[in-house]
Amino acid sequence: MGALPALLLLGFNLDSNTDQRNTRIQYVENSLVQGRLSGKHYFNAFGGTTVEWKGAYSRAGRYEPNTREVLYRESGGVFPWDNFIQSGSIFHQDLTEDAINLNLDVQFPIRVNGQAGTIEVGASSLSRDRDVLSRRFRFLPNRSIPDEVKAASPDAIFTPENIGPGPGQFEIQEATFRPDNYVADQTTTGAYVMADVELLPRLRFAGGARIERSKQAVAPLAGAALDNTDFVPGATITWAASDLVNIRAAASRTLARPEFRELAPFSFADFAGGYLVVGNPVLQRSRITNFDLRWEWFPRPGAVIAVSGFYKKFKDPIEERSCSRAASSSRAG
């Protein structure tokens, strides 16, 4: 699926204290191929044990072959071409990512205090690989460009007669940054155990724990390398205060891992003259402690009135940070 937008931005720029006009012609093609195979098996000979397995493969692609941007700034009532950041730029990118996801879950029925319950164990594996190829070029002026050329439209300013090594012409130059091309991979494996039982009349417990090992790497330049093993427990207590009212309390620990684009030192701007956005290869995964309390009232079948509150504590949160007004914004932890 592809799209070819022609974008025109008009407005006043505080940095340059003048009106500006920015044009962008961009074609982006996104593709996704995925397949999934799963099965569920019941074993009555083992007390009704259930085994469920899933396997999935996907390939995602993003192809941006020829994005062009031209910036004009008002001067004396006209809008001449301006040599600023991405003005006169050509950008190419080809991105592919493969992912394999495997899951196995086994559920054992049990009885506690005469009430039915379950114990569940499982394991999972996720593997992702990404390849990114990017190229940047810019039309840069040789000495002074004639006013009539600067005033030309985007489809007329960079014509063959205006390109060359002579004075008053544009010369195309490589503008690719060293971090623009990178490979990245992630492998996450985990195992868990959980139980869902009625401990006392009207008091139900559901909880367990999961252990995960995750490795992420982005290479080559200033690459990121994360290798973490985490224990993430969680539990919920539900008290049926009456036939119509439940009170639930939950506590858990969760994780937020940075995405490849947040770790890669690749930079881009949303539009000419805009802020650069850059990944941060020293990011760490975020650890989140969660507490929830919820009161539920079921006045009639199919209806519920609930009041809830929560508390969360983040360690090493991943958030956007402005490094400087004229330079860049980065994802920083």
Selection from 252, 236, 248, 244 nearest residue 307 by Cα: 248
pTM for the predicted model, two decimal places: 0.78
pLDDT band at 10 (very low <50, low <70, confident <90, very high): confident
Q: How far is 270 from 273, CA to CA, in rounded Å?
A: 9
Is the confidence at residue 276, as pLDDT, over 50?
Answer: yes
Judged against a pLDDT cut of 80, whether residue 1 lies above it is answered with: no
Closest to 235 (Cα-Cα) out of 212, 248, 255, 252? 252
Query: pLDDT-derived band of residue 327, with 50, 70 and 90 as boundaries?
Result: very low
Average pLDDT, the chain: 88
Q: What sections of 202-273 are H helices per DSSP?
A: 260-263
CA gap 87, 139 in Å, rounded: 8
Q: Does an H or E element contain 147, and which?
A: helix 147-150
